Structure 1
Amino acid sequence: MSENHPIIDMSWHMADTPLGQAKAGIALRKTTPLESHADWKIVPRRRDVIGLLEEQSAQRVPDLIPLRYYRMSDSAFTFYRGTALIMANDLAHTPTTGIPVQAVGDAHIGNFGMFRSPSDRLVFDINDFDETATGPWEWDVKRLAVSVEICGRANGIKEKDRRNAVARCVHSYRDHIRQFSQMDFLDVWYDHLDVEAALDHYESTVNGKRNRTLRDAALRAPVRDSDHAAAKLTYLDSGEKRLRFRSKPPELVPISELQDYADLGVLRERLDALYDSYRQSL
C-alpha cells in the first residue's frame, strides 16, 4: 500500500440490519457519488512510478530483482500484476466512501484460481493474500475490474467483449455483496463457488457445449496439491533419508545457502519461533 493512502475512519460501524446497511450506503452517495469513481486523472506532483519500483526493490533480495523485472516486461498485464504499489499510490488520491475492510490488496484476475477446499470440493476463489491490508473496499474492486480489461487486451479479446466482461465482473461483485448482506456470518464464511456446478451452469447458458479450456483447467487443479509441490520443489536425500529443498538459484535457495543475505542462526531462531506460534494457534 502507498505511504499516501487515505486516512481510514476506524470509528465507522456497520449497521445492525441489512436495511440499515443499505440506507447507510445510499447516504454515503451524497458525499461520494457513484460518478466520482468513474474518472481517474494524474494528480500534480504524482510520484515517479520507476522511483516507486526502485524504492520497493531496495527491500527485496538483489539477485531476484532482474528476474522480477524480466517477468514484468513480458506484457502490459504482467507489468500490472507486479505493480500493486503503483496502483495503490494512484488510488490514494481518489474518492472513497470511508468504509474500511480487510482488503485483498492485490485483487487482480490472476490471483484467482481453482483449488480443493478442506471439504475436498473443487472451488474457485482468491488464492493470494500477500498484499492484504486494511483499506477502502473500492480499491479491491477497481484493481480487479482493471485487471479484467488489461488481461482481455493481452489475450486479443475484442473491445466490446472486454467491456461486457468488466461490467459483469462488477455486477457480480455487487450482487454477491447484496446476497451476503442477507446472510448470517457463518453462512457467508462457508459460501463458495463450486467449480463443477458453475461450469455446468455456464455451458448450459452460453451455447450448450462443453468448454474444453475450462474443463481441462478443472481437471489439472486437483493434482496441484502438497504432494505435487513436494515432488517439484524437493528431492530425497539418500544419506539422511529425508526430503531436502532443491537448489535452483535465484528462485529456489535452501536456507543453508543464504549466508550472503542473513545470519543463519538468527534466521533459524525466527523461523522456529514462527513455527511454534503457528502450532500453538492450532
Structure 2
Amino acid sequence: MSETQTLADRKAAGRFARQHAPRSQHATIGDVDRDPVTLLQENSAGRVESLVPLRYGRMSVSPFTFFRGSAILQAHDLAKTVNSGFVGPICGDAHLMNFGGFATPERQLVFDLNDFDEVSPGPWEWDVKRLAASLAIAGEHTGIDRGSIKDIISTAVHEYRDRMCRYAECSALELWHEIVSFERMIEAAATAEGRQLINRTMEKAAGRTHESMLGKMAALQEGRWCIRDAPPGMFHPGGPNSLLGKDQKWSDADEWKNKLASAFDAYLQTVSSDRRQLFAQFELHDIAFKVVGVGSVGTFCLVMLFVDGHGKPLFLQVKEARQSVIARYFEVGGPVQQGERVVTGQRLLQAASDSFLGWTTGPAGRQFYFRQLRDMKVSAEVERMSSTIFKGYARICGWALARAHAKASGKAVEIAAYLGNGDRFAEALTEYALAYARQNEKDYDTFMRACRSGKLEARSDEDMAADFRV
C-alpha cells in the first residue's frame, strides 16, 4: 500500500473490487473436478507410513472429521473462485474447531485462532469460506435443522462484516492491541446460557496447566519424569512401542537425542534472550512422539518434558511444518523455512502468541516449530451445543477472524468497503457453505468407498492400540 493513499482512496479501492469480484459470485464452490482420494494420497506423502491409516481412520468417523482432515481439497477448489484481490496472511484452515481459548503470556484468557499449520498469504475470503463451510457441515453432523444452519452461517458472516467495519475505523496500534478476551465475550453474549457456558469454560481452562498434565502424562522413575507410552497416540521414538519403523533410523535413542539437541540450540536462537535465560533454569527429562489432530496425523510431532529446580514442569510441542496447502494453490514466491512461516503467521494473526514460539530444522531436513503443549487451552465441544449456543459460537468465530485479518493484513478499510453494509456477501456465503457441505458429502462417500475397497487403509485409534495390548 502506498503511504500517500488516503482513507477515501482505500475505500474506493474496496468498492471498485466488486467490479471484478461481484459479491454474489462467492456462492460458487469452485473447481471440484478432481479425485479427492488422489489429492489426499498426495497430501499424505512424506508422512510416517504406519500412521497414515490412523489419519484416514480419524477422517472416516464422519463427514465433519473428513472435512477437518482434507483442507487440501477446499484449497484446490477455491483456487478457481473469484477474490477481491486483497491478499494478506490467512490461517488457511479456519474451520470452527481451529478456534479456541488459551492464556496470553500475561495469563489473560483469550479467544482466537489456534492452529496455523496452513498459514500463508492468500485471499481473506478463503478463511471466511472455510469457516462458513465448517459451520454447515458441523451443523448437519449435530442434527441442527437446515433453517437454523442458515441462520448460524449468516450470523458468523454478518459478525465478520460488522467487526471489519469497526476495525476500518481503528488505527494500526489499536488493531495491534485489540484482543477478544473471555470477559468481552461474556459482555457480548446474547443469552444467559451463553454466559454460563463461557464461565464454565474459563473454570475448565484454569485447570489445564503444565502441572496438571504432569501426573497424567508422565511417571517419576528414579528421580526423573518419564512420559508414559500410550500408543498410537504417544510413544517413545526408539522404544518398543514405536510406530516410526526401522527406516526412520530412530532406534539409537542417544544418537537421535544428540541430533535433536543441535536442532534445539538452533530453536533457542529464534526466541528472545529472556526466554533463553528462562530455559537455562530447566532440565530436559524426556521426549516422546505424539500423534495429534486429524489432518496432522502422520507428520512428526514431539513432546519435550522439562522440569525446573522446584520440580515444576514445562511441556513443549515440537511440530513438523510442511508446505501449506494454500501455498500450493495460491503462489506467493520463493522457498521459505516452513517452521518460520508458521511462527510468523501465528504472531501476525493472533492477538497474543505463545511465549515459546520458535522454529528449527531437525534431523533429515524436516522443519519444525515449537509451542507449549497446553497452557490453559480449551476448544469447543460442538456435539454438545444447542443451536442457540452454536449460533453464539459462530458469532464469536466471525469476530475473532475479522480481528485476525484486520491486524495481519492492514487492509480492514478495503475489506470493509468491499463487503459494504448489506446482506449480499452473507447470502452468497450461506449459499456457498450449504453447497460445499453437499460437495463434502460426495467427497466423503468417495473416500469411504476407497477405504472399504482397500485402496486406502483406515484404522481407528482403538484398532491400533489393540496391537500393543498383551
CA-CA distance at 1:42 after TM superposition: 4.4
AA aligned opposite 2:23: L
Supply the distance in 1 between the matched residues of 2:46 and 2:214 (Cα, whole angstroms).
28
In structure 2, the CA distance between the partners of 1:114 and 1:235, relative to structure 1 (3 Å rule), is: same
Match of 2:164 among 157, 162, 177: 177
**Corresponding residue of 1:228:** 212
Contact 1:115/1:222 (CA < 8 Å) preserved in 2? no
**Corresponding residue of 2:200:** 216
Contact 1:180/1:188 (CA < 8 Å) preserved in 2? yes
CA-CA distance at 1:250 after TM superposition: 2.8
CA-CA distance at 1:193 after TM superposition: 1.6
Supply the distance in 2 between the matched residues of 1:93 and 1:15 (Cα, whole angstroms).
33
Percent identical pairs in the alignment equals 34
**Corresponding residue of 1:148:** 135
**Aligned ranges for residues 19-38 of structure 1 at < 5 Å?**
19-38=8-27
Name the SS for the 2:122 alignment partner: strand
Name the SS for the 2:24 alignment partner: helix
Contact 1:103/1:140 (CA < 8 Å) preserved in 2? yes
Aligned: 1:51 with 2:35: no
Supply the distance in 2 between the matched residues of 1:229 and 1:20 (Cα, whole angstroms).
53
**Corresponding residue of 1:254:** 236
AA aligned opposite 1:144: L
Supply the distance in 2 between the matched residues of 1:280 and 1:254 (Cα, whole angstroms).
30
**Corresponding residue of 1:161:** 148
Aligned: 1:245 with 2:227: yes
Contact 1:116/1:222 (CA < 8 Å) preserved in 2? no
Q: Which moved more, 1:253-262 or 1:221-230?
A: 253-262
The Cα RMSD (Å) is 2.5
Contact 1:112/1:124 (CA < 8 Å) preserved in 2? yes
Supply the distance in 1 between the matched residues of 2:48 and 2:8 (Cα, whole angstroms).
50
Match of 1:102 among 86, 89, 102: 89
Supply the distance in 1 between the matched residues of 2:200 and 2:4 (Cα, whole angstroms).
44
Measured against aligned partners, the alpha-carbon deviations of 1:53-103 in whole angstroms (never above 9, x if no partner) come to: 111112211122122111111111111111101110111111122221111
Name the SS for the 1:30 alignment partner: helix
Name the SS for the 2:110 alignment partner: strand
Supply the distance in 2 between the matched residues of 1:229 and 1:17 (Cα, whole angstroms).
52
Match of 1:111 among 98, 115, 123: 98
Aligned: 1:86 with 2:73: yes
Supply the distance in 1 between the matched residues of 2:78 and 2:4 (Cα, whole angstroms).
26
CA-CA distance at 1:49 after TM superposition: 0.7
TM-score (norm 2): 0.52
In structure 2, the CA distance between the partners of 1:63 and 1:230, relative to structure 1 (3 Å rule), is: farther
TM-score (norm 1): 0.83
Contact 1:15/1:24 (CA < 8 Å) preserved in 2? no
CA-CA distance at 1:106 after TM superposition: 0.3
Name the SS for the 2:234 alignment partner: coil
Supply the distance in 1 between the matched residues of 2:217 and 2:193 (Cα, whole angstroms).
38
AA aligned opposite 1:223: G
Aligned: 1:60 with 2:60: no
Aligned: 1:277 with 2:269: yes
Aligned: 1:126 with 2:113: yes
In structure 2, the CA distance between the partners of 1:40 and 1:248, relative to structure 1 (3 Å rule), is: same
In structure 2, the CA distance between the partners of 1:210 and 1:80, relative to structure 1 (3 Å rule), is: closer
Structure ranking higher on relative contact order (CA contacts 8 Å, 6+ apart):
2
In structure 2, the CA distance between the partners of 1:262 and 1:173, relative to structure 1 (3 Å rule), is: farther
Name stretches of at least 5 consecutive residues in structure 1 with no aligned partner.
Answer: 1-11
**Corresponding residue of 2:28:** 39
Supply the distance in 1 between the matched residues of 2:214 and 2:7 (Cα, whole angstroms).
46
Supply the distance in 1 between the matched residues of 2:233 and 2:211 (Cα, whole angstroms).
20
Contact 1:115/1:124 (CA < 8 Å) preserved in 2? yes
Contact 1:106/1:140 (CA < 8 Å) preserved in 2? yes
Contact 2:95/2:131 (CA < 8 Å) preserved in 1? yes
Contact 2:91/2:120 (CA < 8 Å) preserved in 1? yes
Measured against aligned partners, the alpha-carbon deviations of 1:112-155 in whole angstroms (never above 9, x if no partner) come to: 11222223222211111111111111110100111111111111
Name the SS for the 1:96 alignment partner: coil
